[in-house]
Amino acid sequence: MNWVSVLRERESLFRRAPSAHNTQPWTIDYRSDDIVIGVDPARSLPGSDPTGRDLALGLGAFAETCLIVAADAGLAVDCDLSDPHRIRLHSSPAKYDTIFRSVDIEARRVARGPYGEGLLDLVILAALEPGIVHVRSRDLAGELEVADRWMFGTPPVARELREWLRLDPSDPRYRQDGLTDRALGLSRLEARVLSGALRALPITHRLLAASGRNLLRYEGSVLVLTAQCSSQRDLRLDGRRLLRTWLLLARFGLAVHPLSQLLDCPVTASRLASRVGAMPLAVFRVGHPRQEPPRSARLSS
């Protein structure tokens, strides 16, 4: 069996890579001696991700996931980002040098429930890659309210979020993609109420915006991944960095919860850029989750 077939056998594992709204926008073309990863336009988010930032970050995270899985399978594989529209995995003289293993990929998941109080300690902050800035969660609590109101009050953004919600376990897509009630930390009753209320949009949006009001009102840490200075910046490289950061934090028992609305809302995005003194690319709270986060759905291989 050549390396392409060996990696293909592990497709369900590298499909565990994260993506905004769990759209899993990647296409995977297995060829005789390379694998080409592209984008399924039907699974992109033109309303909420008009610049393609999250799409590029997700593609980078997917490539990093593939490289980790390949290295753990003993395969010498590298990736080529020279084409802006696709990523090519190809054989290479040496295995990808990484501390991460397939078990890290298997265990990774976003946790949206409550976290224990406490800031990240300095040992952890020192272990992070450059360009990651720490902010106290309370300092962003008001900003999150502004961003949530913007998100639920901006029709194309709210509509897209609704399209990817999976609130009914009998929905055939419930085990395939999108954001389930469980992933969002909703009880069955809350999910049913939300599902019914989605028809009364303006009210629902106010309720949804209010539900996140206290999310950052505790003593906790938020990390901001910022753009590194480079003339040839490729967001897919930042996506690779993002995934490594999430996996490293998980090694310390820490979970993450991205809050991309802080970057999508123009007002909060510009204030966050001033606060961290750089261009923010991803924002996520970090902490010890109080409950075990659920495993999210994936399309089958």
Ligand X SMILES: Cc1cc2nc3c(=O)[nH]c(=O)nc-3n(C[C@H](O)[C@H](O)[C@H](O)COP(=O)(O)O)c2cc1C
- Interface positions with ligand X (CB under 6 A): 18-22, 54, 57-58, 61, 109-110, 112, 179, 183, 257-261, 296
Residue 75 CB, nearest approach to ligand X (Å): 23
- Between 89 and 297, whose beta carbon lies closer to ligand X? 297
Are 248 and 132 in contact, with CB atoms under 8 Å apart?
A: no
Q: At what angle do helices 235-251 and 53-72 cross, to 10 degrees?
A: 60
Instruction: Say if CB 56 and CB 239 are below 8 A apart.
Output: yes
Q: In whole angstroms, how close is the CB of 160 to ligand X at the nearest point?
A: 12
Q: Closer CB to ligand X, residue 258 or residue 289?
A: 258
What CA–CA distance (Å, rounded) separates 236 from 229? 15
Residue, CB closest to ligand X: 18
For 110, phi and psi rounded to 5 degrees?
A: -80, 145
What's the min distance (Å) between Cβ of 84 and ligand X?
17
CB 54 → ligand X: shortest distance, Å?
A: 4
d(CA 66, CA 12): 11
Give the nearer residue to ligand X in terms of CB position, either 131 or 258: 258
Of 95 and 298, which has the nearer Cβ to ligand X? 298
Q: How many CB atoms lie within 10 A of CB 166?
A: 23
Q: What strands lie across the sheet with 132-136, from one edge to the other?
A: 132-136, 221-226, 280-287, 255-258
Helix, strand, or coil (residue 256): strand
Minimum distance between the CB of residue 177 and ligand X, rounded to whole angstroms?
Answer: 9
Residue among 43 and 112 whose Cβ is closer to ligand X: 112
**Closest distance of CB 123 from ligand X, Å:** 25
What's the min distance (Å) between Cβ of 259 and ligand X? 5
Beta strands in 143-297 (DSSP E): 165-166, 179-180, 221-226, 255-258, 280-287
Parallel, antiparallel or unpaired: strands 221-226 and 132-136: antiparallel
C-beta closer to ligand X: residue 4 or 276: 276
HEC readout, 13-47: HHCCCCCHHHCCCEEEEECCCEEEEEECHHHCCCC
Q: Which is nearer to ligand X, 109 or 149 (CB)?
A: 109
Tokens of 145: 């309210």
Closest to ligand X by CB, 87 or 259:
259
Three-class secondary structure of residue 224 per DSSP = strand
CB of 124 to ligand X, least distance (A): 20
